[in-house]
Amino acid sequence: MENNSNIKQNKGDAASAFSFRDVDYSKYTCTEELAVEAEVLLQKQETDRLRELALDYGRQTGHPATACVVTFGCQMNARDSEKMIGVLAAAGFEITDDESADLVVYNTCTVRDNANQRVFGRLGHLNAMKKSFPMKKIALCGCMMQEPEVIDKIRSSYSFVDLIFGTHNLYKFPELLCRMFESDKMVVDVWAKSDEIVEELPVVRKYPFKSGVNIMFGCDNFCTYCIVPYVRGRERSRRSTEILEEIRRLAADGVSEIMLLGQNVNSYGNGIDGEISFPKLLHEAEKIDGIERVRFMTSHPKDLSDELIDVMATSEKIARHLHLPIQSGSDAVLKAMNRKYTVADYMVLIEKLRRAMPDLAITTDLIVGFPTETREDAMQTAKLVKEVGYDNAFTFIYSPRTGTPAAKMDMTMKPEEITECFNEVLKNVQECARNATKMLTGTEGIALVEEINDHDPKLVTGRLSNNYLVHFPGDRSMIGTYRKVRLTENKGFYFYGEII
Ligand code: SF4
């Protein structure tokens, strides 16, 4: 923060640099805020320019410009894709799921296993389309683009790609698209810099009645297997006033379920003087008129507080589901992963959670085959799954991510051994999931109807507070509404039910 006379001076400089006459300078307390706002306004101008370019493109091809955004990976990426679709729709593109569109954007993920290979494989397919329609545009963004070796490979072997940008400059999407349409060379704009959060990009939501809300970006935890802190940057939280304002806008627009998103929501607010805690943010969010259900993801066990458990337990709107990744049931492996908790610490949390909310569904992430892991370690993970009695778990075989400390560690187990251990862990996960659904059969719950069932149009699919899916008789008019249902039949991981 600067002293007042400097602020005035810098505000003036920033204003003339961006040439905005309509900025209300009295709203700002420092030049950083003004610069961010100015960037948003600049991007609005760029969206207008993009609209012109899209129209021009349509005139040349003889049809309105179409765009397809393909998301790889996590909820954060899905949210970024919604923002990109929002920008494209605002600029007049027709949005489609079909990759034969004029513009295809791959929003890539690099967190898990062979994600990079999948993207490179699919690029070959896009290249074939581009050969028969050379005006086609291909853009790549997301975590994978933060890796310098990936950029080198695309430059040398996939030169048909038109635009590459990283995770930190998504807010410049309209400007980057303009540069792409105006250039016949590959546009590359990837920054290592990651400390800016820009508000107010347009968003198109996949579902009109539910939406993700980013509350923070990046991660400071540096788990040794994970690339996120390197590609998404250091942890930084949005201001609660901005978040709550966004939720109010969403509620006014018909959204009743929100999911607060961050790599580690439990450390929300760290580094912002006077900011409210995550549990308080949840509590403020659920008080907003029109909001009926609040979810959040993801929680790091080391930061899960008693305050959060209390707020969850006393709330009727916060979902009865907690995703609490443990990753391994062995203290030695947790240490090698730099997870900063022990199995005993985790079990204390589970006990507190179960005592406060006996109906809470708990899910987790598990990694089998971490470099230092022995068969005995993996069997401890299998045992822990049963001890916790998870409702479900994302279970992965470890795959190294270039640039992480774990990628340089020597493997202890052979691939066959890892597969055997993985199968053992998975068997226990499936058994626990079946037990959990068996226990819930015959109970009642409130389901938010999300869509018509894929296989039977006489059924709708709803999501319960505990995140289980239930299919029951219904029609399109029920989509977006909450229905009380009884779970009549258990299908292992989901239910059939009836309205009561
Ligand atoms: S908490 Fe660990 S696993 Fe999760 S995003 Fe951060 S570094 Fe990656």
Residue 75: band (very low, low, confident or very high) from pLDDT cuts 50, 70, 90 = low
pLDDT at 12 over 50: no
> Which pLDDT score is estimated for 449?
97
**216 Cβ contact list (under 8 Å, min separation 6):** 235, 236, 237, 238, 262, 263, 264, 265, 267, 268
Do 46 and 184 share a domain, yes or no? Answer: yes
| Cα–Cα distance for residue pair 419/427, rounded to 1 Å | 12
Mutate to test the pocket of ligand 1, among 220, 221, 231 (most ligand atoms within 8 A of CB): 221
The answer as to whether 213 is a domain residue is: no
Confidence band (pLDDT; 50, 70, 90) for 204? low
**SS3 category, 297:** strand
Chain Cα centroid distance, residue 176: 22
Instruction: Give the percent of the chain with pLDDT over 90.
Output: 55
Q: What angle do CA 276, 277, 280 make, to 5 degrees?
A: 85
Verify that 426 and 461 share a domain, yes or no: no
| Domain shared by 469 and 413, yes or no | no
Q: What is the mean pLDDT of the chain?
A: 85
Res 142 pLDDT > 90:
no
* Ligand 1 centre distance from Cα of residue 392 (Å): 20
When mean pLDDT is compared over 77-86, 182-191, 242-251, the highest value belongs to: 242-251
CATH number of the domain residue 466 falls in = 2.40.50.140
373-403: string of b/e by CB count within 10 Å (b at 16+)? beeebbebbbbbbeebbbbbbebbbbebbee
Q: Same structural domain for residues 482 and 405?
A: no
Beta strand 459-464 with 469-473 is antiparallel
Looking at the fold, whether 326 and 400 belong to one and the same domain comes out as yes
Least trusted range by pLDDT, from 49-63, 306-320, 412-426:
49-63
pLDDT the model gives residue 15? 32
131 and 39 co-located in one domain: yes
Q: Which residues contact 446 (CB under 8 A, 6 or more apart)?
A: 464, 465, 482, 483, 484, 485
Residue 232 CA, closest ligand 1 atom number: 5
Work out how many domains the chain is built from and give that number. Answer: 3
Q: Do 478 and 425 fall within a single domain?
A: no
- The whole domain housing 141 covers 4-189
Give domain status of residue 266, yes or no.
no
Final residue before a domain boundary, out of 164, 189, 214: 189
At 14 the pLDDT is 32
- The mean pLDDT value for 439-465 works out to 94
Q: Which of 48-52, 285-289, 359-363, 480-484 has the lowest mean pLDDT?
A: 48-52
Domain end residue (candidates: 389, 414, 436): 436
User: Which H/E stretch holds residue 364?
Assistant: strand 361-368
Given 387, 420, 436, which residue is the final one in a domain?
A: 436
Same domain, residue pair 330 and 453: no
Residue 146 pLDDT greater than 90, yes or no: no
pTM of the model: 0.70
396 domain residue, yes or no? yes
Please tell me the distance from the alpha carbon of residue 459 to that of residue 450, in angstroms, as a whole number.
Answer: 11
Pocket of ligand 1 (CB under 6 A): 219, 221-223, 226, 228-229, 263-264, 300
Atom of ligand 1 minimally distant from the CA of 298: 4
Return the best residue to mutate from 222, 230, 263 for the ligand 1 pocket (most ligand atoms within 8 A of CB): 263
Domain-located, residue 350: yes
Q: Rg of the Cα trace of the chain?
A: 24
Q: What is the pLDDT of residue 148?
A: 77
Does pLDDT of 145 surpass 50? yes
- pLDDT 10s digits, 368-424: 999 999 999 999 999 999 999 999 998 888 888 777 899 899 999 999 999 999 999
pLDDT at 13 over 50: no
273: pLDDT strictly greater than 60:
yes
The single-letter DSSP state of residue 361 is: E
Residue 191's pLDDT is what? Answer: 61
Q: Is residue 36 part of a domain?
A: yes
- Same domain for 493 and 376, yes or no, is no
446 or 395, higher pLDDT: 446
Give DSSP secondary structure letters for 214-281: E-EE--S---TT--HHHHT-S-EEPPHHHHHHHHHHHHHTT--EEEEE-TTGGGTTTTSTTPPPHHHH
- In this structure, the answer to whether residues 30 and 131 fall within a common structural domain is yes
| pLDDT(102) > 50 | yes
CATH of the domain at 373: 3.30.750.200
Band of pLDDT at residue 203, cut at 50, 70 and 90: low
- What distance in Å separates the CA atoms of residue 478 and residue 447, rounded to the nearest whole number? 11
Is there a domain that residue 172 lies in?
yes
Q: DSSP letters of 384-440? A: HHHHHT-SEEEEEE----TTSGGGGSPP-S-HHHHHHHHHHHHHHHHHHHHHHHHHH
Does residue 243 fall inside a structural domain? Answer: no
| pLDDT number for residue 119 | 85
For ligand 1, atom 1, name the residue with the nearest CA: 221
Residues comprising the chain, all counted = 500
Helix or strand or coil: residue 30?
coil
User: Could you identify the residue written with the tokens 């992480």?
Assistant: 404
* pLDDT tens readout for residues 24-47: 434 433 333 344 444 455 566 677
Residue 370, burial from CB neighbour count under 10 angstroms (0-12, 13-18, 19+)? buried
Q: Write out pLDDT tens, residues 242-251.
A: 999 999 999 9
Q: Are residues 472 and 412 in the same domain?
A: no
Indicate if 334 and 386 belong to the same structural domain. Answer: yes
DSSP state of 322: E
Q: What is the pLDDT of residues 468-499, one digit of tens each?
A: 999 999 999 999 999 999 999 998 889 999 99
345 pLDDT more than 70: yes
